[in-house]
Amino acid sequence: MAPRKQKKEPKRPAGNLSAVIENAGVMVEQPIASTLEKNYMPYAMSVIVSRAIPEIDGLKPSHRKLLYTMYTMKLLTGPRTKSANVVGQTMKLNPHGDQAIYETMVRLARGCEALLHPYVDSKGNFGKAYSRDMAYAASRYTEVKLDPICEELFAGIDKNAVDFVPNYDNTLQEPTLLPVRFPSILVNSNMGIAVGMASNICSFNLGEVCDTTIALLRHPNHDILSTLKAPDFPGGGYILYNETELRRIYDTGRGSVRIRARYAYDSSGNCIDITEIPPTTTIEAIMDKIADLSKGGKIREISEMRDETALTGLKLTLDLKRGTDPEKLMQKLFRLTPLEDAFSCNFNVLIHGMPRVCGIRELIQEWTAFRSECVQRRIRFDLQKKKEKLHLLQGLGKILLDIDKAIRIVRETEEEREVVPNLMIGFGIDEPQAEYVAEIRLRHLNREYILNRINETDQLEKDIAEMEATLADPKKIRAILIQELQEVSKKYAKPRRTLLYYPTAEENAPLEDDTPDYPVTLFFTQEGYFKKITPQSLRMSGEQKLKEGDIVAQAIEASNNTDLLFFSNKGKVYKGRASDFDDTKASAMGDYIPAKLGFEEGESAIYMAVTKDFKGYMVFFFQNGKASKIELSTYETKTNRKKLLGAYYDGVPLAAIKQIEEDQEFLLKSSNGRLLLIHTGMIAPKASRTAQGISIMTLKKDAVLESAVPYEENMLPNSHRYRAKSIPAAGAFLRPEENQGQLTF
């Protein structure tokens, strides 16, 4: 046998492999718009539609898949099962990790206390919504079943009330929505962050929601605020009632409500027990904030703070110092800590697959339309079943007119498969009717059975007529909705947990500063050390203790409530108050300002300004002979900001910084020995803190402005020689006979 000829491979070109692969290594330009459309937009839509935004049944897909899985596992009526079992079964519908599914279950569980009406009846440790550190146990330890209220979520789901779609691998069917019998979208809070949008729906009292929905079904122009008083949160507390803001939320779906913690004062132990907090915070966040305020000296009335949360519920205890007014302290804590916080509402809901921000009225209308469709589909399902049964009984009625004939046909038929066709021919009935007749037991061929079937036929005809009339009349559908809402309200409604609080004008007044005010002397050294010494301590003190080589640059008599501005060598200013620093003695080194106020590395403090009303000016003298005058009020802030950038122009080295209450004269000295006496009234204030300033002293080449000091009478013998009539001015040299050794800089 001749050997087979081997097929020659095409000759590859020498060189780089990219010559073989078409367009390898070639950079192709692609419009950014098309890239976003092909890659990013599908992802964004998936997050919005299939993950983060709830639908009109009040559930996100992850919630719905979990609850429906538990429903199919017979956990609505059966005993509890391990959470791990539910998580594993849910993964057949939810293609995410087991931890994500379990976290969803935790939030729905009664033990977490995150919902007004939990959907999962839990046993074991599910953490707490009001604590960030109280972690939930693993799914293998906890047990769950559906809460009884879930009966209202699944009512009619087995009667074609909602659509079903295949799961992700097309092996199971799952509902697109649950046929909820009450507006669950408003009853349980829901928060989600999608791509480019978010949803944050607060919870409302179930009884109030049902009453409002019933009122709107009866009177479309009903005033919602008359029945839906305000949101209701599972953590309780107080809502600071604001009718204008609530109406805005109800109309637009956007706005915020303020929630305040609930507390009680225990006079026997001189302590405050906080038992309910806003839903937007945690007990640890509150404790951290109170601790920070105590360290900063803004709260001095608390001697000890304890977290006494136990099985009985949340409890934060604040031990008070003797003589503390608890009401006044709590008003301060409400202003300064998350014990009073705002819940921002954003009623963004998926309506027919499209995200839409809705007000309360619109949400209830959309739910009413959805629930009406569910009821109609359920009635049509029952109607079809009754029609089918009536059809079978009508065929049976024909047979019962001549039972002997039917028996004879069956007995005389030789083959079993011919029984049904022969009955169809003998009585003029169709195949389903003949099948039904053929399956009748011999014991049922008696008078009682026949009469019961005839009576049942009459009842079926009445039921069918009633169902068809209901489907044709929207008023009857509304009556069914109202009846269902009344049943739900009667069965599951609970008193409000969050009470309404009407704030008074006194509470809205600015918080009084109760920091003790007394005279002090403030010392600031050239190296950046600060001391605050009382007059009594100063009288009893000896020489000031300073770092070696350091000198006192400023000594100012002020009070304990004085504001302090520390200017740094990098064009920044750091703010504080004298009360932020402890009283000290002359024998102490004092506080190192860069460390105390958190200066950056390599940054030092060069000047201290002291003020109570932020009146006056800051004057900056630069080595290039320019000066800038800035109103001190530009450094005042409404918030408690500790650092301001751009305190002054830092493009040129400074010669001096001075704080003045009103315009005055300054004596300037250049490096070549010239002196100039100017009045700051000649310098116009600048609106910008970082302004470069205006020229005030004309300098020779290589000369710089060396210093600037406030001028005092008789500092110069012939001051008129040095006083500038206009700026810039060159100044004059000091005559030998004028220098008596008294002039120092």
Q: How far is CA 697 from the centre of its chain?
A: 57
SS3 719: helix
Q: What's the domain range around 97?
A: 59-179
- Look at residue 743 and tell me if it is in a domain: yes
Count other Cβ atoms within 10 Å, centred on residue 117: 20
41-45, 173-177, 420-424, 699-703 — most confident range: 173-177
> Per residue, what are the HEC states of 320-354?
ECCCCCHHHHHHHHHHHCCCEEEEEEECEEEECCE
Residue 290 is given by DSSP the state H
| Dihedral sign for Cα atoms in the order 261, 262, 264, 269 | negative
- Confidence band, pLDDT 50/70/90 cuts, at residue 387: very high
| C-alpha–C-alpha distance, residues 154 and 156, integer Å | 6
- How is 207-238 classified by DSSP, letter by letter? HHHHHHHHHHHH-TT--GGGT--SB--TT--E
Count other Cβ atoms within 10 Å, centred on residue 58: 26
Q: Does 11 have pLDDT greater than 60?
A: no
Q: Which residues contact 116 (CB under 8 A, 6 or more apart)?
A: 187, 188, 189, 203, 205, 206, 232, 233, 234, 494, 497
Domain count, the chain: 5
| Least reliable range by pLDDT among 24-28, 239-243, 294-298, 590-594 | 24-28
Residue 602 is given by DSSP the state T
**Percentage of the chain modeled with pLDDT above 70:** 94
Question: What is the pLDDT, as a whole number, of residue 513?
Answer: 58
- Look at residue 520 and tell me if it is in a domain: yes
How confident is the model over 525-543, as pLDDT tens digits?
A: 999 999 999 888 888 877 8
Q: Which residue has the higher pLDDT, 673 or 101?
A: 101
In angstroms, what CA-CA distances link 143 with 80, 104, 111, 125? 6, 14, 11, 9
Question: Left, alpha or beta for 571 (phi > 0: left; psi -120 to 50: alpha)?
Answer: left
Query: Do residue 563 and residue 523 come from a single domain?
Result: yes
How confident is the model over 256-303, as pLDDT tens digits?
A: 999 999 999 999 989 999 999 999 999 999 999 999 988 877 888 899
Q: Does 508 have pLDDT greater than 90?
A: no
Tell me the HSE value of 628 on the side-chain side, using a 13 A CA sphere. Answer: 25
Query: Do residue 172 and residue 78 come from a single domain?
Result: yes
Query: Do residue 545 and residue 481 come from a single domain?
Result: no
Question: What is the pLDDT, as a whole number, of residue 507?
Answer: 63
Query: Do residue 405 and residue 462 come from a single domain?
Result: yes
Catalytic-role residue among 43, 130, 136, 141: 141
Query: The tokens of 66 are what?
Result: 């979990």
Query: Do residue 271 and residue 331 come from a single domain?
Result: yes
Tell me the HSE value of 265 on the side-chain side, using a 13 A CA sphere. Answer: 10
Query: Do residue 313 and residue 392 come from a single domain?
Result: no
Query: Do residue 322 and residue 399 come from a single domain?
Result: no
CATH number of the domain where residue 76 is located: 3.90.199.10
Question: What is the pLDDT, as a whole number, of residue 151?
Answer: 95
Question: What is the pLDDT, as a whole number, of residue 725?
Answer: 86
In angstroms, what CA-CA distances link 641 with 413, 528, 570, 592, 635? 101, 21, 18, 20, 10
- Look at residue 166 and tell me if it is in a domain: yes
How confident is the model over 304-359, as pLDDT tens digits?
A: 999 999 888 999 999 998 888 899 999 999 999 999 999 999 999 999 989 999 99
Answer for the pair 714, 660: CB distance below 8 angstroms, yes or no.
no
Strand partners, 304: 319
Q: Does 684 have pLDDT greater than 70?
A: yes
- Mean pLDDT of the 46-62 span: 90
Query: Do residue 137 and residue 123 come from a single domain?
Result: yes
Count other Cβ atoms within 10 Å, centred on residue 27: 6
- Look at residue 216 and tell me if it is in a domain: no
CATH number of the domain where residue 629 is located: 2.120.10.90
- Look at residue 53 and tell me if it is in a domain: no
Q: Is 68 a catalytic residue?
A: no
| Least reliable range by pLDDT among 365-379, 419-433, 445-459, 539-553 | 445-459
Question: Left, alpha or beta for 634 (phi > 0: left; psi -120 to 50: alpha)?
Answer: alpha
Q: Does 595 have pLDDT greater than 50?
A: yes
| Least reliable range by pLDDT among 158-162, 463-467, 733-737 | 733-737
Residue 433 phi/psi, 5° resolution?
A: -65, -40
Cis amide bond preceding 42, omega within 30: no
Residue ranges of alpha helices (H) inside 253-325 are 283-295
How confident is the model over 528-586, as pLDDT tens digits?
A: 999 999 888 888 877 888 888 889 999 999 998 899 999 999 999 999 888 888 888 88
Q: Does 499 have pLDDT greater than 90?
A: yes
How confident is the model over 403-428, as pLDDT tens digits?
A: 888 888 888 888 888 888 988 888 88
Query: Do residue 607 and residue 652 come from a single domain?
Result: no
CB-count burial class (<10 Å; 0-12, 13-18, 19+) for 30: exposed
Q: Does 639 have pLDDT greater than 80?
A: no
Average pLDDT, the chain: 88
| C-alpha–C-alpha distance, residues 143 and 79, integer Å | 9
Query: Do residue 563 and residue 642 come from a single domain?
Result: no
Q: Does 30 have pLDDT greater than 90?
A: no
- Look at residue 306 and tell me if it is in a domain: yes
Strand partners, 529: 592
| Least reliable range by pLDDT among 228-232, 278-282, 437-441 | 437-441
Query: Do residue 423 and residue 481 come from a single domain?
Result: yes
Report helix angle 419-427 to 403-412, nearest 10: 140
Q: Does 140 have pLDDT greater than 70?
A: yes
- Look at residue 351 and tell me if it is in a domain: no
SS3 362: helix
Domain boundary among 179, 198, 222: 179
CB-count burial class (<10 Å; 0-12, 13-18, 19+) for 624: middle
Answer for the pair 637, 584: CB distance below 8 angstroms, yes or no.
no
pTM: 0.71
Domain boundary among 288, 303, 338: 338
- Mean pLDDT of the 597-620 span: 91
| C-alpha–C-alpha distance, residues 333 and 314, integer Å | 18
Question: What is the pLDDT, as a whole number, of residue 223?
Answer: 95
Query: Do residue 378 and residue 332 come from a single domain?
Result: no
Q: Which residue has the higher pLDDT, 204 or 425?
A: 204
| C-alpha–C-alpha distance, residues 610 and 563, integer Å | 6
Domain boundary among 153, 179, 205: 179
| C-alpha–C-alpha distance, residues 323 and 154, integer Å | 58
CATH number of the domain where residue 446 is located: 1.10.268.10
Q: Does 18 have pLDDT greater than 50?
A: no
- Look at residue 38 and tell me if it is in a domain: no
Query: The tokens of 322 are what?
Result: 């003797």
CATH number of the domain where residue 299 is located: 3.30.1360.40
